[in-house]
Every structure is written in structure tokens, then in C-alpha cells.
A and B are shown apart, each in its own frame.
Chain A
Amino acid sequence: MNTAPNMIKDAYADIDAAQRAVSVEEVFHRAGPVRPLDELSRERGSRAARRPSRWLPVAVGLSAMAAIVALVAIPFIFRSAGDNSPPAIEPMVTVTTEATVSTTTADEISQDDVDAADGAWTRFPADVDLGWAFGFFTIDDVYLRFDSSARFTAEGDDPDPKSYVWISEDGDAWTRQELPDAVPLPAVWSWSRDTETVGVGGPYVEDRGAEWEFARFAATIDRSADSPRLVLDPIDQDDSTSADPVAVLPDMSASGLTPVAEAHFDAGWGQLPLRVDVGDVSLLPGAIGFEFPDDVVERLPESNGGNSCCGSAEARTGGTARYEFDGELVYEEVWSVEGQRVSVEVIVYDDDGAGTTIHTGWADLPDDLVVFSSGHYGSTGFPIDVVWRSTDGGSTYEATQLGLAVSDDAQWGPGMKLIAHGGRFLWYVEPNSNDTFFVYIWSSQDGLQWELEADNVGPFHAGNMVRHGNILLAPSESGAFVSTDGIEWNGVRMPSTQTEIVVMDAGFATWSDAVHLSADGETWMSLSLPESLGRPYEDYSIQFVGDLIIVQSWKDGWENSVTWIGRLPEG
């Protein structure tokens, strides 16, 4: 269920999966020359010194490996550039001082801002310090960046904050359009290419008396005027049962996922977020759940999160999710599945251990849902939890029935991936992703009969796999793995150890100290970041929209964020 504890758990599991642990070798490296090594070198003649310490081979090996990697990777990385320096990004943005907007406020962009341009990168207008880096899309070949005059802090200068969108046809000249009052102050924007829907949520500034609002709009571009305008038509959400009204289902085609129409749950809400289709068979990797009515919530124990569980596994197959706090059972959710109907009974326990049923809810799954499956995402202490069932409710399968060795160890986010590729389902599982990332690959045509295609492939992070065209790319600790058929995987070097790879129109991208680009996942080129990105900054984010690279850096919070724009090199 999409409760606050579950949101936190999922979010931090994802962060943790993408974050490298601090190894003892890194600590030694950061610490500089360490005494044991010095001692060993000085006492070369002693017997003990000739016996290498446990970590000495590691250090030597790492050094040698780094040298080898550097020798091999440098020409490899910059092969496309033809020399040993990262190619400069082609200058692209010439911010116009003649901003024109068809019907609404046009803010003139100061040339001073343009002067802040740094080398090959151009600084976006300085007054566009988006507090949230998501609002950058292309709709109908028009670049859009959403903005507002409200900021994170309550000390914002604008007593009547407005929502805006910056618009550009070519990425060079930008104009600003004020959005209707019906558009909440944008804190979050999302865009679905499939449904041509914009979702927005906000505002952040609580003490202005505004509540958090969500809204969704059908988005189109009006080209009847001199400059294109964004037209947003509100979507009536009265009958919507979405768990997350702002989260329009995104374009996940790169992942082989297809958005599912929102499932209607008569008892509260539920969501069936994405599905993978092969023919007329659909598999759903994701969660379903109920939100309990207020009168139930009021009776639930305040602190249920100490050992909270999402309950979604039980929702699929039936079973009981027990919620404990400080070792005391506080309530249970008893799930049952019959045909298309999923039901739940909520039992609250008092201090004496007596249980009282306070709620019974149910939901009917969509008729066209043939099969659904899921993995338990981002929890500790749970084995891989993959089940699916036929819609008649008569067939329930668990991972162990496939002969898969299921680990008892904790599983983290990158542990599995389900895609449709080459006309069949491919299911990637890391049986024990805490220790190794070797992957088992299963295939199926109908979602019920599965064959083990390969085991101990990789190692790579299956959950972070991305796709561009028919090329699958999965990051690993030391590089990446590439495949076209999804079964045979070849290891390739990567100029970055980032485990996050994004798909852009032209291929793949990742970044660390530079932006790294590849069309095929095998040959990479690196682009230097704006020099002043680091004077100073705390962190930065990157988006790839069309042929634009948008870098947003910030310091001392979002109020001092800066946006830079570059263009992908041709070819």
C-alpha cells in the first residue's frame, strides 16, 4: 500500500541500491599513506614484512587495475573524439532578449545572464531557478520547462506566486508563459507521452495557507500564434481512484513497460501502475493496495512503522500481513483472493492482545488483466517474493515452483526486472543481490510456463537495466553488460561507475565527473561539464531532452540553483 512508511522504504531502497558502499580500501585511499604500508616497506628485511598483509594485495591489485583501466580506457573513452581530451559541447543556447509571448506575461531575459555562460555551456536565465528538476519535457517537438515564482522557503518574495512554463522551439530562444490559476504552483511535474497528460502537484509553501494540490491536464501545443503556447485542459478527477494523482504514468517504452489504465477499487483506491505485454498476456510488476477510510485510519495505532510491511504480496495471493511495533503486534491485514476480487480485513490489537476487526475492504481487478506478477521491492528480511496468478484465481505460482533458488537474504531494488523483448517475457532475477549480482534469466510466452534460459550471467544490476531500440544495457560494478536478444550478454567498459544509466533519444547516457554518451552501449564518449559547475556546488542533476543536455547545479539549497544547457554533438 502506498502509505508514508512504504514510500520511504521504497525510496531509500532505491537510493541505497544506486549508492556505492564506502569500502575499507576507499578509506585507506582517502586517508593517504598509511602506517602499515610504510612500516612494511621500511622493514623489508623482516620475515613478517615479506608476508603480505591481508589487504596489501588488494591495494596493489587496485592500483594495478586502476593503471590498466586508465591505459585501456582513456583511448577507448575518447576514441570518438580523436584525441585525449573530452570534446567540447557545441555551444547552443543564445538566449534572446526579445522574448515574445502570445498572450501572457513575457519576462525579458537579461543579457547579463547570457554573459554568465561558461565555455561550451550556456547558463539558463538566472531567474529560472527551478526548485524541482523534473519539469523539463518536449511536447510536440517543443521544449518546455516548468517554473513558478514560489520557492521552497517561506521567505519567498512573491506574495502571489504564479506558475509558468518556459517554451522554446529550437532550444535557443526561450519565452515564458504564465499558466492559469487552476494549475497548482508546480512542485512536481510529470509528463506522459503516451497519454499526452501533464500532472502537477504543489505547492510547497505551507504557511501561505495553501494546501497541497494535485491536478492533471491534457497537454497540447497551440501553434496558431507567432510563438507556440502550451494549452492545458483540466482532467476531471472526481471519478479517479489513482493513488497518486500527480503521477501520470510516464513513458516507459525504454523499459518495455506499458501504462495500465487505472484500476478502480470500490474500497478506497488502488493502483496497477505498469504492465508488460506479450500478445494478449499482461504481467504487472508493481503493487496494489487499499487506502483505508478515515474512520479506520483514526483507529489504527499511530506508530505502525517499526516493522511495517506493505502487504502487497498478501494482496496477490492471500495471506496475512502482520504489523508490529517494538515487538508488539498492533494490527493485521488479512487478504484473500477469489476470482477477480481481492479482499482485506483489518484487525487491530489492543494492549492485552485482543483483536477487533475494524474494516473490510475489497476490490475487483480489471477484466482484461490476464496475469499479474510482482516482486517484493526494496525490503529487508524478505526472500524474493514473486508470485503471479491467473485471473480465474485458480492458479497461483511462487518463485520456488520454478526451481529457482530463492535466497533468504535481504533483497534490494536492483534485484529483478521483467521486460517484454523479442516477442516474449524475460524475467531477470538476482538470487542474492547482496553478495553478487549474477543473474538468472527466465523466459515465457504466456506468463505461466517459464524456462530458465541462463544462470549466473553477469554480474550486472538487472533492476537498473535500460533499453534503447533493441539494445539492452545493464550497469555493473565494473562497467556494463550489453545484449540484443536479452539472453546473451557481453561485458563492456564504461567511463563511469555510476549505476544509473538513462535513455535519451540518441542512445544511452550516464554521468559522474563528466557526461558520458553512447549510441550502442559499447562505444562511449565523454563530455566535460561546465567549468563553473563546481564553483561551488553541492550536487547536480542532469536531464536529456531531445538533443539538449540540461545540467542543474545548486548550493545552499535550491534557492541558489543554476541551470546550464548544452547540446549533444552531432552523430
Chain B
Amino acid sequence: MGEWNVLADQVRVDTFTEFVGETEPRLRRALTAAFGSQSGRDACAEALVYAWKHWDRIGKMDNPAGYLYRVASNAAKKAKRSTIVSDFSPVVERLPWVEPGLGPALASLTEMQRAVVALVHAWEFSLSEAAELLEITKSTVQTHEQRGMATLRRKLGANR
């Protein structure tokens, strides 16, 4: 019986490890976009810890990544982690061709607009992929993308 338990646990570890490998990059990037580099990464790590502790349930979900995004998002909001501007200081200092106003312009977007804009434009998610991760409809993703980009272009003085 003990051997069965160990084997079952091994399977559990293996499936979770595989899940982390597949899910972590997009989850972390989406949360980083929404809540900033440090807070986003922390939220991602905490969400994955939550997933590990509840893997028997979460591992069976149709869209565990989307569920974890909501878990992490709620946790980050409760922690009032909402600054993203700071994340761009190293970027602007090192890369003169990166618009310095990008950080504050992104910070002015809603969390969802920021996440969508980053997923679609930085990570080249399709609208469907972004919709799945954020657990919203494709048309809602498109709305957030268009409004977010319109705001960014206006604030950055960019025509495109």
C-alpha cells in the first residue's frame, strides 16, 4: 500500500511539474503585466503554491491556468499591489530607444487592459489564447486591447 502511495505521489509531482513548465511563463507574464514585475512574479509563485496544495482539484480543471490567474489576481488586489511604473526604470535607463513614458502610460491603464495589451503585443498571444488565460470572452479581449492601445497611443503621442 505504501508503494502505491509513493507511486501516486510521484505521478502527482510529475503532472504538477509538467503543468508548471507549461503554465508558468504565460501566467507570470500576464500577472507581471497586470501588477508589476515583483508583485506579478510573487503572485504567480503564490498561485502555483496554491495549485500544488490543491492539485487534486485544480489538476482536473478544464482551464487551471485561467483559474490560477483569478486566484493570483485577487491576492494581488488584496495586497494592494498595483504599481507597474517601477518595472520600467531599468528598461528606460538601459534602452534609449524605449519610450520613457511607456511605464506611466501603461500604469494608467486598467489592470485588464494592461494585461491584454502585454499578452497580445509583447507576447503575441492570439485573442483566443488571451481570452482563455484571463477567463474572459474573445470580444472582451479585443475591446480591452483597442481601448488600451488607444490610450497608450494618445499618452505616448504615437500614431501607431
Q: How many residues of A contact B (CB 8 A)?
A: 89
**Is A558 in the interface zone, CB < 8 Å from B?**
yes
| Cross-interface CB contact of A21 among B6, B24, B121, B153, cutoff 8 Å | B24
Cβ contact within 8 Å between A326 and B127 = yes
Known: A2-B99, A7-B99, A11-B102. A291 touches B7 (CB 8 A): no
Known: A2-B97, A286-B97, A308-B121. A297 touches B160 (CB 8 A): yes
Question: Which residues of the partner chain B approach A190 to less than 8 Å between Cβ atoms?
Answer: 100
User: Shortest Cβ distance from B30 into chain A, in angstroms?
Assistant: 11
Query: What is the interface of chain A mostly: helix, strand, loop, or mixed?
Result: loop
User: Shortest Cβ distance from B94 into chain A, in angstroms?
Assistant: 7
The docked-state distance in angstroms from the alpha carbon of A58 to that of B95 is 37
Question: Which residues of the partner chain B approach A15 to less than 8 Å between Cβ atoms?
Answer: 32, 37, 87-88, 91
Question: Which residues of the partner chain A approach B48 to less than 8 Å between Cβ atoms?
Answer: 22, 24, 27
Within 8 A of B (CB), among A29-63: 30-31, 34-36, 39-40, 42-43, 46-49, 53-55
Task: Spot the interface stretch: A109-117, A241-249, A399-407, A521-529.
Answer: A241-249
Cβ contact within 8 Å between A21 and B100 = no
Cβ contact within 8 Å between B33 and A12 = yes
User: Shortest Cβ distance from B42 into chain A, in angstroms?
Assistant: 9
Question: Which residues of the partner chain B approach A303 to less than 8 Å between Cβ atoms?
Answer: 142, 145-146, 149
User: Shortest Cβ distance from A60 into chain B, in angstroms?
Assistant: 14
Cβ contact within 8 Å between B9 and A36 = yes
Please indicate which of the listed interface residues B29, B53, B90 has the most CB atoms of chain A within 10 Å of its own CB.
B90
Within 8 A of A (CB), among B25-84: 25, 28-29, 32-33, 36-39, 41, 44-46, 48-49, 51-53, 80-83
**Is A538 in the interface zone, CB < 8 Å from B?**
yes
**Is A133 in the interface zone, CB < 8 Å from B?**
yes
**Is B120 in the interface zone, CB < 8 Å from A?**
yes
Cβ contact within 8 Å between B124 and A30 = no
**Is B86 in the interface zone, CB < 8 Å from A?**
yes
Question: Which residues of the partner chain B approach A470 to less than 8 Å between Cβ atoms?
Answer: none
**Is B133 in the interface zone, CB < 8 Å from A?**
no
Cβ contact within 8 Å between A538 and B83 = yes
The docked-state distance in angstroms from the alpha carbon of A225 to that of B98 is 38
Cβ contact within 8 Å between A46 and B3 = yes
Cβ contact within 8 Å between B80 and A556 = yes
Cβ contact within 8 Å between A34 and B52 = yes
Cβ contact within 8 Å between B20 and A27 = yes
Cβ contact within 8 Å between B149 and A133 = no
Select from chain B the residue with minimum beta-carbon distance to A9: B122
The docked-state distance in angstroms from the alpha carbon of A132 to that of B87 is 11
Cβ contact within 8 Å between A244 and B99 = yes
Known: A152-B107, A297-B159, A326-B126. A7 touches B20 (CB 8 A): no
Cβ contact within 8 Å between A305 and B121 = yes
Cβ contact within 8 Å between B2 and A538 = no
The docked-state distance in angstroms from the alpha carbon of A297 to that of B158 is 10
| Cross-interface CB contact of B118 among A8, A18, A188, A286, cutoff 8 Å | A8
The docked-state distance in angstroms from the alpha carbon of A539 to that of B153 is 27
Question: Which residues of the partner chain B approach A500 to less than 8 Å between Cβ atoms?
Answer: 90
Question: Which residues of the partner chain B approach A462 to less than 8 Å between Cβ atoms?
Answer: none
Select from chain B the residue with minimum beta-carbon distance to A291: B159
Question: Which residues of the partner chain A approach B33 to less than 8 Å between Cβ atoms?
Answer: 12
Cβ contact within 8 Å between B118 and A12 = yes
User: Shortest Cβ distance from B130 into chain A, in angstroms?
Assistant: 10
Cβ contact within 8 Å between A273 and B96 = yes
Known: A3-B158, A43-B5, A303-B146. A246 touches B20 (CB 8 A): no
Complex A-B: 13 CB contacts under 8 Å = A4-B149, A8-B118, A11-B122, A18-B37, A22-B20, A31-B49, A40-B6, A43-B5, A48-B10, A243-B97, A247-B96, A303-B145, A307-B124
Extra A-B contacts (10), CB below 8 Å, given A297-B159, A380-B124? A8-B122, A12-B29, A12-B118, A14-B98, A27-B20, A27-B51, A31-B53, A274-B96, A326-B126, A538-B80
